[in-house]
Amino acid sequence: MKSAVKALAVGIVAAVIGVVVGRQLAPTPKPILSEPLARLQYGNELFAKGTLVPPKADEMTRYKLQTEGQHPFAVVVTCADSRTPPEFLFNQGLGDLFVVRTAGIVISDEVLASIEYAVAYLKVPLIVVLGHTECDLLQHALSAKPLEGHLPLLTKHFEPVIRQVRSTHPHLKGEARLSRVTQEHVREAIRTIYQRSAIVRKHHQLGKVAFAAGVYHLREGKVEWLKLPEEWTDK
Ligand SMILES: [Zn+2]
């Protein structure tokens, strides 16, 4: 009897440990990936490994796109940096991506209007904001050195995020601080698009468009996807 009780107790303890260990070992649930995002992730894997599949850019593709019109599957809002062309990074061809680029990523009225056009008229189901490591413009804004001509028009957009990171993470310096600023800048860009565009908000609430955010690593060639609130990522 005693041994039966002991066996039961051992069983319960084992079960509890199993549950606890199971919880610890269980992978964190991934956000449900909409198909367009999976396409981008796969394309980036090919790019990073150097195993690119030649993207559609042939005569037949051009003919189809010209006669049938464009149906891109993602808007990519990204930096104008020459090292970060989204079609390359995601291994996509003509007609696949609707790309909106400004130096440093600025969500101006014109950029918002471009995104709204893609979402409302081209029915694009995914908005990606893609930052990148070692962004010159963000570095300039962080250094707070005066800039000439129209350049302050760009950097003024980055200042609120830089102030926020300086106050919430005062210990961060150098690369670590730039990396944090880059991530927050990307998240803030998505928040701005959502808050300032009634068209995007409406399409998102109807389940017609989802968001994704990433940081492209110049050296590795990989996009690091950032965590966003789940209700934003699930289309
Ligand atoms: Zn940049």
At 216, phi and psi to the nearest 5? -85, 130
Q: What pLDDT is attached to residue 27?
A: 45
Quickly state the pLDDT bin for 73 (edges 50, 70, 90). Answer: very high
17 token code pair: 């440990």
Q: What pLDDT is attached to residue 144?
A: 83
Question: Contact, 141 vs 103, CB < 8 A?
Answer: no
Res 23 pLDDT > 80: no
Residues 124 and 77: their CA atoms lie apart, in Å, by: 13
**Order of strands, sheet of 210-217, starting from the edge strand that comes earlier in the sequence:** 97-102, 74-79, 126-132, 210-217, 222-225
| Ligand 1 centroid, distance to 57 Cα (angstroms) | 26
Q: What share of the chain in percent tops pLDDT 70? A: 84
| Ligand 1 centroid, distance to 161 Cα (angstroms) | 15
Q: Which numeric CATH code is attached to 32-233? A: 3.40.1050.10
CB atoms within 10 A of CB 9: 10
**Mean pLDDT computed over 54-70:** 95
Q: Reduced to 3 states, what is the DSSP secondary structure of residue 211?
A: strand
Buried b (16+ CB within 10 A) or exposed e, 58-89: eeeeeeeeeeeeeebbbbbbbbebeebebbeb
132 contact partners, CB below 8 Å, separation of at least 6: 78, 79, 81, 83, 84, 182, 215, 216, 217, 218
**Mean pLDDT computed over 60-71:** 97
Query: 155 versus 3: which is more confidently predicted?
Result: 155
Q: Where along the chain do its domains lie?
A: 1-30, 32-233
| Ligand 1 centroid, distance to 128 Cα (angstroms) | 15
Q: Judging by DSSP bridges, how do beta strands 74-79 and 97-102 pair with one another?
A: parallel
| Ligand 1 centroid, distance to 160 Cα (angstroms) | 17
Res 42 pLDDT > 90: yes
Q: For residue 75, which amino acid is it?
A: V
| Ligand 1 centroid, distance to 167 Cα (angstroms) | 23
| Ligand 1 centroid, distance to 101 Cα (angstroms) | 10
Write the pLDDT tens digit of every residue in 177-229.
999 999 999 999 999 999 999 999 999 999 999 999 999 999 999 999 999 88
Residues 20 and 164: their CA atoms lie apart, in Å, by: 37
Listed residue (65, 129, 120) closest to 95, CA to CA: 65
| Ligand 1 centroid, distance to 22 Cα (angstroms) | 42
In sequence order, what DSSP letters do the residues of 170-193 get, joined into one string? TT--HHHHHHHHHHHHHHHHHHHH
